[in-house]
Structure 1
Amino acid sequence: MPLNKNIIIYTIVGLSVVLSFYFLSRTGIYIKQIGGVETGGKISNTISTAGDGKVYAKPDMAEINLSFSEMAPTSREALEMVNKKIDEAIKKATENGLSDSDISTTGLSVYTEYDYSNSGRKVLGQRATQSLSLKVRNLDVKATRAATLIDSLSTIDNAQFNGITFDIEDKTKLVSQARELAFNKSKQKAQELAKLSQVKLMKPVSITDSTYDISPKPYYANTAELRSAMGGGSADAQVPSGEIAVSTSLSILWGIE
């Protein structure tokens, strides 16, 4: 009995579909909706845009880093010499309005120091080094409190200033301002793209927030101002603080129809 032509055609078409899916899966090619997000079982078209916001403000806090190093015949003697300098620095810091929580030790080391100059090794003594971090809060525009403290600390013999870093203690409002700028930029781009594409812009489907804080501005001890503060000049320390930047980047997926 001859086969129905329709059955033969359907069989060929069915085999073609099966083979097509087989080869697609073997080659790693998949067919999916492009530019769509599944929401509640429905596929919504979207536009993706990004925006960044950056705001600047004067720092209200400074961190001064300094250290003292002394050498003596014994470790005990070297530590005692350093401790006297540390006590003097802490006293000057408290006299300039710093609280105990603003003063911290950031490093302490004791080691044997050698002389290798005459093709041998000769013990010179024991060296003790201690580092301090002093946080000066509520700075004014000219960072006068920090400069005054540096001037006071520079009167201590062998005080080594390792640098000063400016920062903003509470960046909450600045982050909010930067985030608003980033959102508005992203929305403006989305509105322009929607207009060009002749579609209607809807509410955001998803938002990715990448808020980051620009590193506090360092002010190193090899500048003329800090060299002056360490006794290298006759002028009082001048410590310009500049501005601190806070940045936010938003990636937003907008619904369109």
Structure 2
Amino acid sequence: MLALLTLVMLGLLAGCIQVPASSQEQIRTLNVSGSGKVYVVPDIAYIYVGVRTEADDVASALNANNQQAQAIVNLLKERGVAQEDIQTSAFNVYPQQNFGPNGEVLGTKFVVENTVFITARDLSQLGGLLDAVVRAGANNIYGITFDVADREKAESEARRLAIENAKARAQELAQTVGVTLGEVQNVSVYSSGSPIPVYEAKGMGLGGGGSAPIAAGQLIISADANITYLIR
């Protein structure tokens, strides 16, 4: 009887013991990154044009500013700029004191500033357009930003180039270290924000005659890709 109980207890203990399973093979991965760039010629420009007037009283400064700003808007429309491409982006009225050599107040002028945001879609006429708005009364031009109206095709090509670049790097690294690429585990693609100007490019001259020499040059649209492979 004692021998039977001993065998039963040994059997129960054996049933409670778990043999550890063999550890799974460690997953090895290779992470690579790539980049792609596409050069495009701008076909659109954004310009901030300002009118600043000052006078001894607010009404006079405002009246002069309104006349000059309206003359600019009329000119833009005459030159084919659409109404939706002309937008007031800032309007300020403030007093400005004039001081003498000892800090005494000599008088007060009132300043009115009106800034118009223009979208120019015909770059061949951009130089002449800028000359014309200055003659119409603009006394501030806050810079020109070139862009591409439809970036979709260029952005798609930049993403494709970034992925191809990452794949080529993965194959090169795998061959160098003596491993074989397996399935793709993860893909991430990041497009750039605004196009980047190519400052060293000569670009294309715009305008003619006595127009301001404006060169649009080229823009870079870029993308980055990150790919993770299983390796064996």
TM range, normalised to the smaller chain? 0.7 to 0.9
Of 143, 155, 163, which aligns to 1:183?
163
Deviations, residues 120-162 of structure 1 (Å, cap 9, x unaligned): 013232111111111012x4xxx32212211221212453222
For the residue of structure 1 that corresponds to 2:28, the secondary structure is strand
Of 155, 167, 173, which aligns to 2:153?
173
- Superposition RMSD on alpha carbons, in Å? 2.6
Q: Does the 8 Å CA contact 2:72/2:138 hold for their aligned counterparts?
A: no
For the residue of structure 2 that corresponds to 1:213, the secondary structure is coil
In the TM superposition, residue 56 of structure 1 has moved relative to its aligned partner by 0.9
Q: Does the 8 Å CA contact 2:197/2:220 hold for their aligned counterparts?
A: no
Q: Does the 8 Å CA contact 2:75/2:136 hold for their aligned counterparts?
A: no
In the TM superposition, residue 256 of structure 1 has moved relative to its aligned partner by 2.0
In the TM superposition, residue 217 of structure 1 has moved relative to its aligned partner by 4.3
Q: Which residue of 2 aligns with 1:144?
A: 124
Q: Which residue of 1 aligns with 2:100?
A: 117
Q: Does the 8 Å CA contact 1:58/1:241 hold for their aligned counterparts?
A: yes
Q: Which residue of 2 aligns with 1:162?
A: 142
**TM-score for both structures, normalised by structure 1:** 0.71
Q: Does the 8 Å CA contact 2:56/2:109 hold for their aligned counterparts?
A: yes
Question: Closer, same or farther in 2 for the Cα pair 1:136/1:42, shift >3 Å?
Answer: farther
Deviations, residues 20-75 of structure 1 (Å, cap 9, x unaligned): xxxxxxxxxxxxx9xxxxxxx98642111110111110111111211111112221
Segments of 5+ residues of structure 2 without an aligned counterpart are 1-22, 200-204
In the TM superposition, residue 253 of structure 1 has moved relative to its aligned partner by 0.4
Of 135, 144, 149, which aligns to 2:119?
135
Matched-pair identity in %: 25
Of 177, 195, 205, which aligns to 2:185?
205
Question: Following TM superposition, where does structure 1 have runs of at least 4 consecutive aligned residues deviating by more than 3 angstroms?
Answer: 41-44, 214-219
2:225 aligned with 1:254, yes or no? no
Q: Does the 8 Å CA contact 1:166/1:216 hold for their aligned counterparts?
A: no
Q: Which amino acid aligns with 2:130?
A: I
Equivalent residue pairs, number = 202
In the TM superposition, residue 174 of structure 1 has moved relative to its aligned partner by 1.0
For the residue of structure 1 that corresponds to 2:54, the secondary structure is strand
Question: Closer, same or farther in 2 for the Cα pair 1:116/1:207, shift >3 Å?
Answer: same
Segments of 5+ residues of structure 1 without an aligned counterpart are 1-32, 34-40, 220-224
In the TM superposition, residue 102 of structure 1 has moved relative to its aligned partner by 0.6
2:77 aligned with 1:94, yes or no? yes
Deviations, residues 169-190 of structure 1 (Å, cap 9, x unaligned): 2211111111111111110111
